[in-house]
Amino acid sequence: MVTSTPTRHGMGALVHRSVRGRAKGGETSPRSIAFLIVLWFCLLFALLFLVVLLINIWVDGVGRLDLALFTEYPSSNPDDAGARPAILGSLWVIGTTAVMTLPIGVAAAIHLEEFSDRHNLINRAVELNVQNLAAIPSVIYGMLTLAALGLFGVVNKNQVWVGALALSMLILPVIIIATREALRAVPAEIRQGSLALGATPLQTVFRNTLPAALPGIATGAILGLSRALGEAAPLLLLGGLVFLRFDPNGLMSGYTTMPIQIFNWTGRPQQGFHELAAATSIVLLVVLLLMNALAIYIRNRYQQRW
Amino acid sequence: MSTWSPPRPPAVISQDSLRARPRPLDTAIRLLFRVAAIFTIIITVGIVIALLIPSLAFFAEVPVWEFLFGTRWAPRFADASFGVVPLVTATAWTTAIALVVAVPLGLGAAVFLSEYAHRRARKILKPVLELLAGIPTVVYGYFAVQFIQATVLREWLGLDTGSFSVLAAGFVMGIMIVPTIASISEDAMSAVPNSLRQGSAALGANRMQTTVRVVFPAALSGVIAAIVLGVSRAVGETMIVALAAGQQARIVTGPLEAGQTMTGFIASAALGDSPVGSLEYDTLFAVGLLLFVITLVINFASIAIVRRFREAY
């Protein structure tokens, strides 16, 4: 009796302390609140930066966002200059990139996802390689293309197809990864049903799996192409920075693109060119925003859920 | 009515008749698919060869140790000198500043989105955050040099700095890689099973303790992979540093100094038209090779980290 009293007393103190401890560490304790505020701040800071950037570009460039930007050619006088060849050049290069990269990317993804034997050494090397290619800096693709041109003795680097070749290799991993994910999302029952009806594996791919995966592929392709559209570094190495006084009009034609034009104008001392750079940035951002919106629309409208 | 009649079954079922009918067209198309997949390896091999051959020509003229440890970079001067250390210090500064910005912000945003945000809030906030990753780097470069450097650092803060600085370039680059780090870390944290959180809560931990002591350690491999990928993007980023970090190659000792990075040199050297086979052309590829080797090591480290430390639930 005598010994149990302090024990009971001790137990009480222990329980009391643990209860108090929990209260101290509760959801509304100062430390928890401070932690949440810090987390909020992290997200808010990044979003605030985005807003400030967009406002800054808009304020700098809106004065030159007029018809002349779309109709005039670059000039040494900022008041007469426009971005017409750069805008057309971007369209040419991105269109050519799409034609070059989509068939190869989709074909490679079909092989990896539908036909490849996972234990085959080459296939495992390809998978690891695609992951690695996606993280290689974009300038390196410019150097690869530059060296290839040197090897084949192509002297004139400033051609639409050359730029498109570099950008195609740059976004190939993006297209492959997106296509594989879209194919993987198609349930196995679809394939099995088709095969059970007597279709060959290839017929199954072309008539069932691929059409079912098309919205996902389209979304990935648009996002990959929008990355290529904003890219300047590889094209800089390929002589994309030229003073162009004509419209790009073919695969062999000379070109410059919007990001390169922005780079060129930003690097000049005159304020007028900085305004032009900002105005061209607005055009580029609007095009990218539209492409992203299209990707989201396709995903929401056509994506099937199984 | 129909004149078609089913083929008569063979009297004896041979091993041959059970075999798939040869379809040459199918085989050819599948071969094309395979070639497309192998094409990706050709790109990698092509990159290695393309960088290696001019680099070998370069190292025939400039000793490797002079390139790696020389402290003066002046490839276009009469008394040319090819020490790459100044370029590496500038790259190290911009990358370090970018990480100081991106790691806390990216992880904070990831924790918030994964552990605290309502499902509906996350559905809106995540794509908005990822818009940051969609902005062209040349636009970031414009913003870094025209707004962060010229307006914020010089006008508002009155700092003693020139037209360029590694701080402005690194800071903007850091914001650029926030979505990369946030997105991959958030995926890793969301993949931690709820039973762990419930177990932690049952032991009396609050949400902050659960996040810091249970969820975060469980997701560590994904978080490290995200940071490593961020490093690789910062090292290879070209347009921001070409516009905002400066064009003079010199050893950078402080954040307010200007300096040319490795990618910055490649971009500026590309503007001058150097003929194939000249030392200037080869220099470009030697720096490119160094850049490629650095990012390759970082990428494989990231892949290895994920494989080694992945907690499978």
The residue from A64, A93, A113 where one domain ends is A64
* Contacts by residues B67-73 (CB-CB < 8 Å, ≥ 24 positions apart): B67/B286, B71/B251, B73/B249, B73/B250, B73/B260, B73/B265
Classify residue A213: in a domain, yes or no. yes
Distance between CA atoms of residues B200 and B204, nearest Å: 7
- Amino acid symbol at B161: T
The CA distance from B28 to the nearest CA of chain A, in Å, is 11
**Is B16's pLDDT higher than 70?**
no
pLDDT value for B4: 60
Asked if the Cβ–Cβ distance from B116 to A36 is below 8 Å, we say yes
Instruction: Note which residues in 32-61 of chain B have CB less than 8 A from chain A.
Output: 32-34, 36-41, 43-44, 46-47, 49-51, 53-54
Roughly what angle, to the nearest 10 degrees, separates helices B24-61 and A121-133? 60
* Domain match, A174 and A258 both: yes
Residue with tokens 């090292």: B235
A1 within some domain: no
List, for chain A, all residue ranges whose pLDDT scores fall below the cut of 70: 1-25, 306
Residue type, B13: I
B88-134 pLDDT, tens per residue? 999 999 999 999 999 999 999 999 999 999 889 888 898 889 889 89
For residue B213, what is the DSSP state?
I
- What integer pLDDT is reported at residue A85 of this predicted model? 92
A59 and A69 both lie in a single domain: no
Q: How many CA atoms lie within 13 A of A72 on its CB side?
A: 17
Per-residue model confidence as pLDDT tens digits over A236-276: 988 888 877 888 888 888 899 999 999 999 999 899 999 99
Do B277 and B45 form a contact (C-beta atoms < 8 A)? no
Q: Which residues of A touch B106 (CB under 8 A)?
A: 42
pLDDT tens per residue, range B266-281: 998 877 767 777 888 8
Q: What's the CATH code of the domain at A194?
A: 1.10.3720.10
Q: How confident is the model at residue B1 (pLDDT cuts 50, 70, 90)?
A: very low
| Last-in-domain residue among A16, A47, A64 | A64
Place of tokens 């990928």: B229
Residues A292 and A264 reside in one and the same domain: yes
Among B269, B291, B264, B270, smallest CA distance to B164 is for: B264
Please give the residue of chain B at the shortest CA–CA distance from A43: B109
Residues A45 and A138 both lie in one domain: no
pLDDT digits (tens, 9 = 90+) for B158-174: 888 888 999 999 999 99
Judged by DSSP in three states, B82 sits in strand
Question: Are A230 and B134 within 8 A, CB to CB?
Answer: yes
Whether A41 is in a domain gets the answer: yes
Q: Which of B111, B236, B276 sits opposite A137 (nearest CB)?
A: B236
Q: Which residues of A156-187 are buried (b: 16+ CB within 10 A; e: fewer)?
A: ebbbbbbbbbbbbbbbbbbbbbbbbbbbeebe
Give the H or E element holding residue B74.
strand B73-74
Is A98 in the same domain as A211?
yes
B294 CB near a chain A CB, below 8 Å? Answer: no
Same domain, A42 and A122: no
On whether residue A5 sits in a domain, the answer given is: no
pLDDT for res A17:
45
Q: What is the pLDDT of residues A177-200, one digit of tens each?
A: 999 999 999 999 999 999 999 999
Closest CB to B36 among A45, A108, A292:
A108
pLDDT at B6: 60
pLDDT of residue B42: 93
Would you identify the CATH topology of the domain B81-309? MetI-like fold (1.10.3720)
Measured between alpha carbons, how far is A140 from A137 in angstroms, rounded to an integer?
Answer: 6
Question: Does residue A18 sit within a domain?
Answer: no
Residue A265 lies in a domain: yes
Indicate whether A258 belongs to any domain.
yes
**Residue reference for tokens 């070059």:** A100
pLDDT at B301 (0 to 100): 84
Q: How many CB atoms lie within 10 A of CB A270?
A: 12
| Average pLDDT of chain B to the nearest whole number | 88
Q: Do B43 and A172 touch (CB under 8 A)?
A: yes
Asked whether A229 and A284 are in contact (CB, 8 A), the reply is yes
pLDDT score for A300: 83
Which of residues A39, A64, A89 is at a domain's end?
A64
**pLDDT confidence of residue A22:** 47
Integer angstrom CA distances of residue B219 from A184, B188, B304:
25, 5, 15
- Give contacts of B205 with chain A, Cβ < 8 Å: 25
- How many domains does chain A divide into? 2
Q: B257: closest CA among B244, B267, B266? A: B244
Lookup: tokens for B14: 């041979």
Q: Examine residue A182 and state whether it is found in any structural domain, yes or no.
A: yes
The answer to whether residues A49 and A74 belong to one domain is no
Kindly determine whether residue A139 and residue B37, on different chains, have CB atoms separated by under 8 Å.
no
d(CA A72, CA A89): 14
Q: Which residues span the domain enclosing A53?
A: 27-64
Of the partner residues A103, A140, A285, the one whose CB lies closest to the CB of residue B291: A140
Residues A55 and A100 in one domain: no
B51 pLDDT band, cuts 50/70/90, is very high
- Has residue B135 got a pLDDT over 70? yes
State the CB neighbour count (10 A cutoff) for residue A191. 18
Q: Are residues A60 and A79 in the same domain?
A: no
- Tokens 């924790």 label which residue? B111
Alpha-carbon gap, residue A169 to A138, rounded angstroms? 10
Question: What is the pLDDT, as a whole number, of residue A7?
Answer: 42
Claim to verify: residue A139 and residue A53 sit in the same structural domain: no
Q: Residues B46-53: what's their mean pLDDT?
A: 92
Same domain, A139 and A242: yes
List of chain B residues whose C-beta atoms are within 8 Å of the C-beta of residue A32: 206-208
Q: What gap in Å lies between CA A300 and CA A182, rounded to an integer? A: 14
User: A220 and A116: one domain?
Assistant: yes
**Cβ pair A96, A160 in contact under 8 A:** yes
Q: CA nearest B150: which of B162, B140, B138? A: B162
What is the rounded distance in angstroms from the CA atom of residue B210 to the CA atom of residue B190?
13
Comparing CB atoms, the residue among A136, A227, A231 nearest residue B295 is A136
Share of chain B above pLDDT 70, in %: 92
A69-73 — which CB contacts under 8 Å span 24+ positions?
Answer: A69/A276, A69/A279, A69/A280, A69/A283, A73/A244, A73/A245, A73/A246
Q: Where are the domains of chain B?
A: 81-309
Closest of B238, B235, B221, B234 to residue B301, by C-alpha = B221
